[in-house]
Structure 1
Amino acid sequence: MSSSSKVLMNELKDLQKEKWVTIELKNNDIYTWDLALLVINPDSLYYGGYFKARMAFPRDYPYSPPAFQFLRSLYHPNIYPDGRLCISILHQPGEDTMSGELAAERWSPIQRAETVLISILSLLDDAEVSSPANVDAGVLLRKEPEAYKQRVKQDVERSKQDIPEGFVMPTHESTKPKVEEKLDDDFWADSDVDVDSFGGSDSDAKMSMDSNDKADKSPSNLEDYE
């Protein structure tokens, strides 16, 4: 097994624990992922979307970036009509003086597939309109934002056609980590309930009564037993 395939296997294992993405290997090839991005943020314009895509990794990964393409094109300033993206994190490492992209904005070997997918989800709601891949979408977003929102809603509804039968879309609430209830330490200090009542027996009560009858012969506290 090559080093790149080992890296991808580990990344895949981590991502399969997440609820906002589903991943299958195309033809059992670790270098080609068929996935779906699930928008579960209720504040997102794309909320409820199930966006199928394909991610292809080069053999020298992570030294070169993967390629990403939506299988259903989205009407978005930074998405080409064929579903490919114009996003800095998928560009080759190093600074690009022509585009003005800094090296920190582009791909680097410390990046992971997860960071790419999170960046893509962020891009959906935070479009870069200064140099759009889809000029018409960029113009509509700037000049007629309400009309643009309607186009997005259409894309979200179309994407739901790809939800597998029987698949239950996660919600924002269902992905929150469960908080375990913890007994307040002040409970014991503030409670009026006698601690003995949680575990005392009748024999304990009898012994207590007997000890009271012999108080003049008994030690005053536990330290006297030592």
Structure 2
Amino acid sequence: MSTQSSLLLKRQLIELTKNPVEGFSAGLVDDDNIFEWEIVIMGLNDTLYEGGFYRAIMTFPVEYPLMPPKLKFTSDMYHPNVYPSGEVCISILVCEDKYGYEQANERWTPVHTVETILVSVISMLSSPNDESPANIDAAKEWRENYPAYKKKVQRLARRSADEC
């Protein structure tokens, strides 16, 4: 399985290199490990994350694409769907729904690619799901004190741009 996984990941990396997608860049953390990618997501215009550059690590299991990768921000991130540890929590990265929250068509399927995952993460940044938050404090502030949430996120965006 790991040979098939590595071949698929190599094809996806080549495709993203030849045809970059607006909003993110992707490459290997180490040229000898196709299962660990460094991602940089650019904050989209007209969102709270505008102007920011958010680094993350995407780690693929050897069972990929049967199992989803994990995505963890290494840059500071404050968002209802990102755990304080930086790990992203969205339906597309989940195989099983233990709590009955997501519909099957929202969860991981082997047809997803690095591109579809990252497009979903970019969408998540502009449209948080506060009904099943990974970061309770961020979700609560987003709902109850949006100006404070906005200020905190925009401060992180400026800081992330300065770090790049």
Normalised by the length of structure 2, the TM-score is 0.90
Tell me if the contact between 1:73 and 1:82 (Cα under 8 Å) persists in the aligned partners.
no
After TM superposition, give the deviation of residue 49 of structure 1 in Å.
1.1
Measured after TM superposition, the shift of residue 99 of structure 1 is 3.1
The answer to whether 1:38 aligns with 2:42 is yes
Instruction: Give the CA deviation at 1:60.
Output: 1.5
* Aligned-partner SS, 2:30: helix
Structure 1 residue 97: Cα displacement: 5.9
Structure 1 letter corresponding to 2:64: Y
Look up the equivalent residue of 1:135 and give its one-letter code: I
Query: Which deviations, in whole Å up to 9, do the C-alpha atoms of 1:14-39 show, x marking residues without a partner?
Result: 22232432223122111100121112
Query: Residue 64 in 1 paired to residue 74 in 2?
Result: no
**Structure 1 contact 52–162 (Cα < 8 Å) conserved:** no
Aligned AA (2:40) = A
Q: Over aligned residues, Cα RMSD in angstroms? A: 1.6
Structure with bigger gyration radius: 1
> In the alignment, is the contact (CA less than 8 A) between 2:23 and 2:122 conserved in 1?
no
Counterparts of 2:86 and 2:60, CA distance in 1: 17
Q: Which sections of structure 1, spanning at least 5 residues, go unmatched?
A: 164-226
Q: Equivalent residue of 1:2, what SS?
A: helix
Structure 2 contact 36–57 (Cα < 8 Å) conserved: yes
1:33 aligned partner, one-letter code? W
Q: Give structure 1 regions of 4+ aligned residues with deviation exceeding 4 angstroms.
A: none
- Secondary structure of the 1:27 match is coil
- Give the Cα separation in 1 of the matches to 2:23 and 2:90: 20
Q: Does 1:4 align with 2:28?
A: no
Cα deviation digits, residues 16-69 of structure 1 (max 9, x gap):
232432223122111100121112x32222111110000011111111000100
Task: Tell me which residue corresponds to 1:22.
Answer: 25
Residue by residue, what CA displacement relative to the aligned partner does 1:57-114 show, whole Å, maximum 9, x if unpaired?
A: 111111100010000231111111110011111111x5x3623211111100111111
Partner of 1:149: 150
**Contact 1:53/1:68 (8 A) holds in 2:** yes
- Secondary structure of 2:108 counterpart: coil
The two structures have a TM-score, normalised by structure 1, of 0.67
Give me the identity figure in percent.
38
Aligned length: 160
Following the alignment from structure 2 to structure 1, what is the Cα–Cα distance between the partners of residues 12 and 163?
25
CA distance in 2, matches of 1:121, 1:2: 30
